[in-house]
Amino acid sequence: MKYTTAIFDLDGTLLNTLGDLREAVNAAITPRGLPPVTETQVRERVGNGIRNLITRCMPDGTPDSEIDACLAAFRTYYNDHLMDYTHPYPGVTELLQALKDAGMRIAVLSNKYDPAAKALIRHFFPRLVDLTLGERPDVPRKPDPASCKEILSDLGAAPESTVYLGDSAVDIHTAQNAGIDAIGVTWGFRSRETLVEAGAVQLADRPYELSTLLLGPDIDALQKAFTSHGFAFTYFATKEQATAYLAQECAGKTVGFGGSITLDQMGAYEALSQTAQVHWHWKGEAPCVNAQIFVTSANGLSATGEVVNIDGASNRVAASLYGAKTCFMVCGLNKLAPTVQDAIERARNVAAPRNAQRLKVQTPCAVDGKCHDCRSPARICRSLVVHMGPPLSFERYEIVLIGEILGY
Ligand code: SF4
């Protein structure tokens, strides 16, 4: 286990606090004749402390004394309404419990004022968090690293064995300033693009991905789950090792590739072409339907041993069902979900929207990164296949899991 300490941001990472923040802002500003703000506006304006949120919800040039009065009104209301609408994001409590059970120390660092941050953690995550620090007088806010370093010191944690997890550029910058690794989470208040621009090199789309990333996959359990369904299963720590394995297994054969960002990121076409006759429509060829081996990825793998794929043209899922004698399903750790329902949810709400954005199609998910179950003519998810076992026409059907984040 590389990390022994995890520091989490609060708002937008552990808790969805937008509803109560909206109510408290409106309780502060509407008595002054200002229009109420929406949850979307709060989402856009939150960050860097409550005073900044209030300031952004008031007209430019509002005197400091008026902002201070609004801030006081906000706190009066918010202190009594911290938990009217606030709730943990789905899977977050289970994530914290899994990290705790594995012996990790857990801290929370927030730009929300300290008493409110502590009250929320006590209520929602009792006994799961070792230390919570919110905004305090005379201590600079994130992205200043002062509080982050205080946590390291108080918990006796080394920077190299600590990871910071948050949903905003402020979080990524805080980790950078403190000299610790960061993982951005995409389910909160800010976009994937914002996190990447801030320098996030690792991103997680669902809390269960963090469990796998931080604790590592349970290879024995996965092997058992997939083989019980009739799939072969191999695991490689790196994409280079997996690529070398595939090149060896495919040597001298005709190989068809399904459309796959994972294979692209692995450089698999170039590597396998050294030893095999590889056909890939992403390289300007027609989709290959009569190769001896079909290599592709999946959009979701369940820890219970099922494989989920979603497709538009559907040549990829068709070739995974019939044609070749051997199939390799090559997936990064990010494709692992606890259940087949989670894997389907992932395929529909993570993989399909990201592909829609990549392809720049006119679908609702291309705009906001979430599935709206659209009936758009440009809809890209038209086939959903759950492999509960290898199709009978295949002689070998192998899940190749790689210990890295790859593809969608
Ligand atoms: S159903 Fe529509 S909105 Fe949902 S992922 Fe597919 S294309 Fe996007």
How far apart are alpha carbons 315 and 278 in whole angstroms? Answer: 16
Q: For position 284, what pLDDT does the model report? A: 87
Burial class of 176 by CB neighbour count within 10 A (0 to 12, 13 to 18, 19+): middle
CA of 263 to the centre of ligand 1 (A): 23
List phi, psi (to 5°) of 128: -100, -20
CA of 141 to the centre of ligand 1 (A): 39
**Domains of the chain and CATH, by start:** 5-14+86-215 (3.40.50.1000), 18-80 (1.10.150), 219-402 (3.40.50.10420)
Q: Which residue has its alpha carbon closest to ligand 1 atom 6?
A: 381
Q: Which residue has its alpha carbon closest to ligand 1 atom 8?
A: 365
Burial class of 61 by CB neighbour count within 10 A (0 to 12, 13 to 18, 19+): exposed
Q: For position 49, what pLDDT does the model report? A: 84
Q: Is the CB of residue 374 below 6 angstroms from any atom belonging to ligand 1? A: yes
Locus of tokens 């990447």: 196
3-class state of residue 311 by DSSP: strand
How far apart are alpha carbons 93 and 338 in whole angstroms? Answer: 15
Q: For position 277, what pLDDT does the model report? A: 94
Q: Is the CB of residue 345 below 6 angstroms from any atom belonging to ligand 1? A: no
Pair type for strands 181-185 and 203-204: parallel
Q: For position 288, what pLDDT does the model report? A: 73
| Ligand 1 atom closest to Cα of residue 352 | 5
How many angstroms from the chain centroid is the CA of residue 278? 32
pLDDT digits (tens, 9 = 90+) for 192-231: 999 999 999 899 999 999 999 999 999 999 999 999 999 9
CA distances 184 to 197, 246, 303, 318, Å, are: 11, 31, 23, 35
Catalytic residue among 9, 20, 171, 205: 9
Regions of the chain short of the pLDDT cut 50: none
CA distances 352 to 54, 154, 192, 362, Å, are: 37, 43, 15, 13
Within 10 A of 33 (CB to CB), how many other CB atoms are there?
6
CA of 239 to the centre of ligand 1 (A): 29
167 annotated active-site = no
The pTM score is: 0.90
372, 375, 382, 383: which to mutate for ligand 1, most atoms within 8 A of CB? Answer: 372
Within 10 A of 318 (CB to CB), how many other CB atoms are there?
17
What are the helix (H) ranges across 32-91? 39-45, 50-56, 64-80
